[in-house]
A and B are shown apart, each in its own frame.
Chain A
Amino acid sequence: MDADATLLARLRDGDEQAFTDLVERYHSPMLRLALSFVSSQAVAEEVVQDTWLAVLRGLGRFEERSSLRTWLFTILVNRARSTGVREARTVPVADAGPVVDASRFGPNGAWAVPPEHWAEDAENRVDAAKLSGLLRGGLDGLPVRQRDVVLLRDVEGMSSAEVCQVLAISEANQRVLLHRGRSKLRQVLESELGGGPR
C-alpha cells in the first residue's frame, strides 16, 4: 500500500493521529492557497476548517480516482473560490512584460548583463534558513495566481495535471503562470546571490 492508501485506511478507521498528521502536512499550504481567493486571514481560516470537515465527512465517498492530496486541494479551492465570489473579490489580471528586464540585453537581444554564476553554489553561499526565508518572501510577493501555481508545482511538488485539476485552469494557462512566478523567484535569489540590478 502506498502512503496515501495507508493514511486513508487509518482515517477511515477513525485514527485521530492520522488526521493530525494530515493537518500538520497540509493545513498551512491550504491556508496559503485559500488566502489568494478570499479577503482576509480569518475568512481563509474558516474556509480551511470547512474543508477539513468536508474531507472528514467525504471520506466514505472518496473513490481514490485522484490522490488524497489532489482531492483535499480541489475541495479547498472550490470552497475558497465560491467564498471569494460571494465576497465579490476581484483578482487582478495577470501582469505582462518580459520576465527579465530589457536593460539586461543589448540591441540584438543578446545578454549585455549576463547572469553571474551561482546556480550550483547557492547553498554554499547562503545558509538554508536564509534561502528558505527569501523564497517564502518571494512567494508572498507574487501575484496570487502565480503564487498558487508555484506553490502547488514547486513547493508541494504536484504534477502539472494535478495543478490544472485543483485550480481548474488549462495546461497553457498553468505554464504561463508558472513561467512568470518562477522567473520572479529566480530574480529574488539573484538579488541575494549576485547578478542583475541591486
Chain B
Amino acid sequence: MSFLSGLLRFRAPAELPCQQVVEMVTDYLEGAMSAADRRRLDHHLDGCPGCTEYLAQIRETIRLAGRVTPDDLTPEMRTELTDLYRRWRNEG
C-alpha cells in the first residue's frame, strides 16, 4: 500500500449534507447501497435528528400505505364477474 492510499483510507469521510440524505433513503431501505455509503449514512443519522425523523416518516408512510384496503366492488361488477365465471364453467 502506498503512502498516499494509506492516507486516503484513514481520511475522515466527507460530511453528507441532509439534502443528499433524503435522496438516498430508498437505496438505504432497499439495501441497494455500498457498504461504505451505508456507513456514511449511518454515521450521519447518528448525529442528525432531522434526517432520523425523515427516515422514520418514510418508514411510517410505507407502513400506513400497507393498511390501505382495496376499494369495494360495485354490485354491478360482482354480477358481471359471477356471470363471467359461470360462462367459463360452461365452456369446459
By a beta-carbon cutoff of 8 Å, the part of chain A in contact with chain B is 14, 16, 19-20, 23-29, 45, 49, 52-53, 56-57, 98-100, 102, 105, 108-111, 114-120, 122-123, 128, 131-132, 135-136, 139, 150, 154-155, 157, 160, 171, 175, 178-179, 182-183, 185-186, 189-190
Contact = CB atoms under 8 A, between A and B. Distances in A.
Interface residues of B, number: 45
Nearest to A178: B26
Interface of B: 17-20, 22-23, 25-27, 30, 32, 48-51, 53-54, 56-62, 64-73, 77-78, 80-82, 84-86, 88-89, 91
A114 B81 CA distance: 50
A160 B53 contact: no
Contact of A183 (B22, B49, B60): B22
Q: Is the interface of B mostly helix, strand, loop or mixed?
A: helix
Interface centre among B22, B50, B65, B86 (most CB of A within 10 A): B65
Ranked 5 nearest A-B pairs via Cβ: A109-B17, A114-B50, A119-B56, A179-B26, A154-B65
